[in-house]
Amino acid sequence: MEPVTTHHSSPRYPQFHKRKSMVMLANEPEEQLLVFVHGFGGDPLKTWSDFHSYLTLDKQFKGFDLLFYHYDSKKVQASASAILLDLLMEEILEQPAFFSGYFFRDEDLKYSIRPEGFKYKKIFFVAHSFGAIVSRKAMLSSRSKNHTWHKISKLMLIAPAHNGAKALLPVQQMLSVIPFVVGWKRFRTPTLDDVDLSSPNCRLKELKEETKMIQAGSEGEFTIAGQVIWSLEDYVVNNEEYLKDAEPIIEDYQDHKHVCKPNDGYLTPLDTLKKFVLQYGS
């Protein structure tokens, strides 16, 4: 299957959010969906390099539908992106026909329409960097709005930014020297506030507190990342354990940008995903 660029919208999904997500639907679906969420400045497919090629050739994923999700990670802050993702996921779960209609051109529909009564039983999220914040917030949004997709979802995180970013320190130091330039950059890139722990607009502490509260109850399983991968010398995000998340796999020779990209010499992301799906699959 070839990935398809999206150009459609739903009555519930805002018209302005016409981004280039990529979708690959299985010929013989097993009611399981993989959702890849890129990080800051990422691309729905390039962020993950050859991930889609490995998955379509692997028998373990033969029946999985794949969604390489795109969102505006530079101009739209995490909370807004999370709400949009929440709305989309609820549409996909409740109306699989919408999934086909939204992501495929009319001439492709004959290959993608799901049978009546089709419904996903399990949704796996693979999120890189800033995508971890968006994914976590989307799940909490689903819960607060009494949506249901978060109840069948599970997280795998790669170099997550949910503990903030250390790459902002040089920017903060520049603030006193060239405040106008930095101020303009922050205006053009408001998502910096989402990962800047010193910013009054940063909500990572609140995100963690809400997640902790949910985990203390009986319905917190969806908030716990089942697999986590770190880059040992990550120059972007803070590597710190997060509540009840799985113990991280630490990679020595991959930086923040490449730790999520499998290739023939580096298969940790793929192997970890295979283990993740076996552990939590239906």
Q: In which band, very low, low, confident or very high, does the pLDDT at 33 lie, cut at 50, 70 and 90?
A: very high
Question: Does the structure show a pLDDT above 80 at 202?
Answer: no
The pLDDT of residue 182: 47
Helices (H), 60-177: 78-94, 96-103, 109-112, 130-144, 169-175
pLDDT at 74 over 70: yes
Contact 191, 76 (CB under 8 A): yes
- Cα separation, 124 vs 276, whole angstroms: 9
Is the pLDDT at 184 greater than 60, yes or no?
Answer: no
The whole-number pLDDT of residue 113 equals: 63
User: Which of 4-8, 36-40, 91-95, 227-231 reaches the highest mean pLDDT?
Assistant: 227-231
Q: Cβ distance 194 to 203 under 8 Å?
A: yes
Lowest mean pLDDT among 21-35, 234-248, 254-268: 21-35
Structure tokens at 57: 């050739």
pLDDT tier for residue 172 given thresholds of 50, 70 and 90: very low
State how far the Cα of 70 lies from the Cα of 48, in Å rounded to an integer. Answer: 12
Average pLDDT over residues 39-44: 90
The pLDDT-based confidence of 135 (bands split at 50, 70, 90) is: very high
With a cut of 80, say whether residue 154 has pLDDT above it. Answer: yes
Per-residue pLDDT for 224 more than 80? yes
What is the DSSP secondary structure assignment for residue 207, as one 8-state letter?
A: H
User: What's the mean per-residue pLDDT of the chain?
Assistant: 81
Q: Which residues, other chains included, contact 199 with Cβ-Cβ below 8 Å and sequence gap of 6+?
A: 192, 193
Q: Which residues pair with 96 in a beta bridge?
A: none
Q: Please report the pLDDT score of residue 98 as a whole number.
A: 57
CB burial readout 159-190, b (16+ within 10 A) else e: bbbbbbbebbeeeeeeeeeeeeebeeebeeee
Beta bridge partners of 154: 124
* pLDDT score, position 102: 54
Return the percentage of the chain with pLDDT > 90, whole number: 54
Q: Is the pLDDT of residue 51 over 50?
A: yes
pLDDT above 50: residue 5? no
Identify the pLDDT of residue 193. 64
Domains and CATH numbers, the chain: 4-280 (3.40.50.1820)
What is the predicted pLDDT for the residue at 18?
Answer: 40
Round to whole Å and give the CA distance between 267 and 282. Answer: 24
What digits encode the pLDDT tens for the residues 92-128? 888 765 555 555 544 454 445 677 778 899 999 999 9
